[in-house]
């Protein structure tokens, strides 16, 4: 007969973040001793870290910190939404974000090498990996520096942590409009801020596709230049932040909204978990 109850399983699962079956087996092996079961979970978890390296970590959360004119975004991933919304994972994400802010890390590799309480972030993740029993990784780190930076975190599901994070850097005094722009970026996922940032090769490819499509549609030869130009501009309007139609007023482009508010955009970052 088991020396533990369903309440013991629940308590240990919440304390360690490990899966239900793993917790039950550990308690069975430890004959109900919670401290020993916790140690068993840790040892078995560490042995399994390498095995989990090839597994997919497509769930997780995005977290952000802004201090004056510096904003930091971190995406930390796990395998299941159960772990993603757990308290242990949230605490881990906060530690990782704090390390990113303190170190000024601008990419995941630099952050993983950063030390937290005598351990690197990589070691911290391996320990969490062992205790929780899932692959856990830092996928992306983003930083934006500007006279002002505003952050926006968006939940795609009410029972999950934020899945989309945005930093928007700007100069100007209308913080309400700046926040609206951050929310717009979250919803419309622009790939660049200005069309100058789109590579010449990409523009040439869009022109080629637009022309081939128009010919397939049987458009008149004389009309092709205008049609191609219109479709390329459509590509810019879909992907370039300043040329997108503003989420709250589809009659105006984002650049018009910014100009009216006296805001000069300086840069942005957008991260969506798993994308």
The C-alpha atoms of residue 12 and residue 27 are separated, in whole angstroms, by 9
Under 8 Å between Cβ of 60 and 115? no
The C-alpha atoms of residue 131 and residue 119 are separated, in whole angstroms, by 16
The C-alpha atoms of residue 73 and residue 187 are separated, in whole angstroms, by 17
pLDDT digits (tens, 9 = 90+) for 234-252: 999 999 999 999 999 999 9
Q: Say if pTM beats, i.e. exceeds, 0.85.
A: no
Under 8 Å between Cβ of 153 and 183? no
What the chain holds in terms of domains, given with CATH numbers, is 6-52 (1.10.8.10), 59-165+267-272 (3.30.479.20)
Q: Which three-class secondary structure state does DSSP give residue 39?
A: helix
Mean pLDDT of all residues in the chain?
A: 88
pLDDT digits (tens, 9 = 90+) for 106-150: 899 999 999 888 889 998 898 888 777 788 899 999 999 999 999
The C-alpha atoms of residue 7 and residue 207 are separated, in whole angstroms, by 64
User: Band of the pLDDT at 193, cuts 50, 70, 90?
Assistant: very high
User: Within 10 A of 105 (CB to CB), how many other CB atoms are there?
Assistant: 22
User: Band of the pLDDT at 175, cuts 50, 70, 90?
Assistant: very high
């Amino acid at each position: 007969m088991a020396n533990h109850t369903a309440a013991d399983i629940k308590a240990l699962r919440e304390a360690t973040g490990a899966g239900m079956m793993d917790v039950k087996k550990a308690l069975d092996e430890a004959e109900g001793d919670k401290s020993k079961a916790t140690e068993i979970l840790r040892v078995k978890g560490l042995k399994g870290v390498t095995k989990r390296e090839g597994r997919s970590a497509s769930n997780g959360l995005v977290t952000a910190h802004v201090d004056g004119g510096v904003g930091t975004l971190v995406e930390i991933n796990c395998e299941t939404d159960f772990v993603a919304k757990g308290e242990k994972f949230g605490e881990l994400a906060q530690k990782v974000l704090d390390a990113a802010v303190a170190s000024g890390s601008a990419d995941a590799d630099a952050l993983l090498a950063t030390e937290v309480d005598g351990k690197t972030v990589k070691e911290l993740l391996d320990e969490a990996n062992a205790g929780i029993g899932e692959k856990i990784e830092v996928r992306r780190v983003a930083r934006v520096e500007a006279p002002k930076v505003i952050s926006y975190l968006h939940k795609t599901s009410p029972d999950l942590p934020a899945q989309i994070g945005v930093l928007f850097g700007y100069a100007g005094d209308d913080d309400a409009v700046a926040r609206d722009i951050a929310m717009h970026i979250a919803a419309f996922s622009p790939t660049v801020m200005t069309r100058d940032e789109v590579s010449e090769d990409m523009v040439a490819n869009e022109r080629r596709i637009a022309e081939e499509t128009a010919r397939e549609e049987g458009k008149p030869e004389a009309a092709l230049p205008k049609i191609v130009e219109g479709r390329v501009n459509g590509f810019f309007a879909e992907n370039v932040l300043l040329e997108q139609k503003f989420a709250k007023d589809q009659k105006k482009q984002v650049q018009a909204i910014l100009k009216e508010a006296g805001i000069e955009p300086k840069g942005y970052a957008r991260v969506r978990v798993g994308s």
